[in-house]
Amino acid sequence: MKAMTVGEPEIREAVTMKEAIDAVRHAFVDLAGGEFEMPTRTALRDGQFLVMSAHHRSTASAMFKTLSLNFERKPAITGTVTWSETGRLDHLIADAGTVTALRTGAVVGVATDLLAPPEAGRLTLIGAGGQAPDQVRAVHAVRPLRQLTVVDAALDRAQALVESLAPELPGVELLTSTDAGSAVREAEIVCCATNATSPLFPESALPAQVHVNAIGAYRPTMRELPDALLAGSTVVVDELDAILEESGEIIHALEAGAITRDALTELGAALTAPTADFGKRTVFKSVGVAVQDWAIARLLADKFLA
């Protein structure tokens, strides 16, 4: 057996955001079609260690990811993604921090492409941490941006992010802020990528038409979105079982009676039976599921395993 190891530079060189978005879209369609075996992830030490796995039946391939999360540390997310096929002796081991950022961006690209108005080009991103650059790249890949406002509790992080992304966003107006409430007022797309434990803005701060992605909260104790936004929007989620176990905002809104379970549509179902009109306000909530990592690992295996 040989194990091929790929780090951030090789992954970035090998996979474009558009490729990642297409691969993740296909994976969610396959998830809806019953092609995957995907247990809910194991969370240890209240989510400081995670173990995730997905098996794709028709290719007899599997992805196993281990993560260590610590928001006092930079990068906050480290670990390994291992790709394995029953028909092949060689394995691929990839840097989990890079795969995670890429696939978390990619799923937001899939959802934004499905749910945001075609002409939307004004993005407010809240949270300028490790996930942030790929959130921007993914939205830009499906809705070319005219304006980007980055909000962070630490203004220097927001400024550093826009400076680092500027070469990739020629002609895009770049703004920074520490005030999420005012920064979402004229947004057409909002991305939330923080480790917050309470809503980042009141529902009343949003315009009548907006698409909101929220990827930050992955434990029942974490929340980025207010109940009133979920109550008044079409809500698409990555995978229902994972969401009901881990998404603080969905659990909170269900317990408060703001929404019912029937109001939640899985991304795979939305992709395979798209409604012509999702309404003026749409929300995509993702806690992150293993089929996303499988999709990126497959792209890497195709490129790096002979």
Sites of contact with ligand NAD (CB under 6 A): 69, 71, 76-77, 100, 104, 126-132, 151-154, 157, 180, 193-196, 200, 215-216, 218, 286-288
Interatomic CA distance for residues 26 and 43, integer angstroms: 27
Question: By C-beta, is 132 or 189 nearer to ligand NAD?
Answer: 132
153 or 231: CB nearest ligand NAD: 153
Which token pair is 158? 């927001």
What type of residue sits at position 172?
Answer: V
**253 in Cβ contact with 232 (< 8 Å):** no
Question: In the complex, what is the shortest distance from the CB of residue 70 to ligand NAD, in angstroms, rounded to a whole number?
Answer: 9
User: Cα separation of 170 and 168, whole Å?
Assistant: 6
Number of other CB atoms surrounding residue 145 within 10 Å: 20
With CA atoms as reference, report the closest residue to 62 among 38, 96, 26, 32: 38
Distance CA 290, CA 176 (A): 33
Q: In angstroms, what is the minimal distance from the CB of 283 to ligand NAD?
A: 14
- Residue 216 CB, nearest distance to ligand NAD (Å)? 4
The pairing of beta strand 189-192 with beta strand 234-237 = unpaired
- Find, among 221, 226, 213, the residue nearest to 286 by Cα: 213
The residue among 80 and 171 lying less far from ligand NAD, judged by its C-beta, is 80
Residue nearest to ligand NAD (CB): 129
| Least distance from ligand NAD to the Cβ atom of residue 2, Å | 29
Q: Nearer to ligand NAD by C-beta: 48 or 275?
A: 48
Q: How far is the CB of 86 from ligand NAD (least distance, A)?
A: 27
Whichever of 195 and 305 has its CB closer to ligand NAD, that residue is 195
Question: Closest separation between CB of residue 225 and ligand NAD, Å?
Answer: 12
CB-CB contact of 295 with 27 (8 Å): yes
Q: Which is nearer to ligand NAD, 201 or 278 (CB)?
A: 201
Least distance (Å) from ligand NAD to the CB of residue 43? 11
Q: Identify which of residues 69 and 148 has a Cβ nearer to ligand NAD in the complex.
A: 69
Residue 88's CB: how many other CB atoms inside 10 A?
15
CA distance 237 to 283: 8
